[in-house]
Amino acid sequence: MLWTPGYWGMDGGRYLWHAGYWGREVGFYGGINYGNGYFGSGFTGGRWEGRVFRHNTVITNVDVRNVHNTYVDRTVIRPVQGPNHAFNGPGGIAAHASPHEVEVGRGTHQGPTQAQVSHAQEAHSSHVAAHGGERR
């Protein structure tokens, strides 16, 4: 099973949370290229070579003294046209799921594991405590 990350994105003219899920393939997750194995559209920070994930150190910051499954590919660097936003919707990028990603989204899914739910609750509690009890 592979994890499709959740994301905030436009749906019917409103920003809505699209929950992440486990499935046979990674589906659409807002059009944002998160890296670290989530290839999205045009991810160039690494690649699988057989059973080993190798990091492109031009894109992904890893300590090459300790991480040896790396390579360098500078051909992937492209100038960003316009704003470089990390959200999908007005003022950000305008990404849409491909027909294949739509199909994957309609497939059989499993929700987050209990460990993932606990981690999210812990992170939320930590954020609330750090901001004097205010929810932001």
Report, in this order, helix, strand and coil percent for the chain, each rounded to 5: 20, 25, 55
Compute the residue count for the chain.
136
Q: Is residue 43 part of a domain?
A: yes
Q: Is residue 70 part of a domain?
A: yes
How many CA atoms lie less than 13 Å away from 102 in the CB half-sphere? Answer: 5
In terms of pTM, does the model score above 0.85? Answer: no
CA distance 1 to 17: 22
Name the strands in the sheet holding 70-71, side by side, starting at the edge strand that comes first in the sequence.
Answer: 46-49, 52-56, 70-71
pLDDT in tens, 108-131: 999 889 998 888 888 778 755 555
Q: Is residue 100 part of a domain?
A: no
Indicate if the pLDDT at residue 44 is higher than 60.
yes
Total domains, the chain: 1
Q: Is residue 74 part of a domain?
A: yes
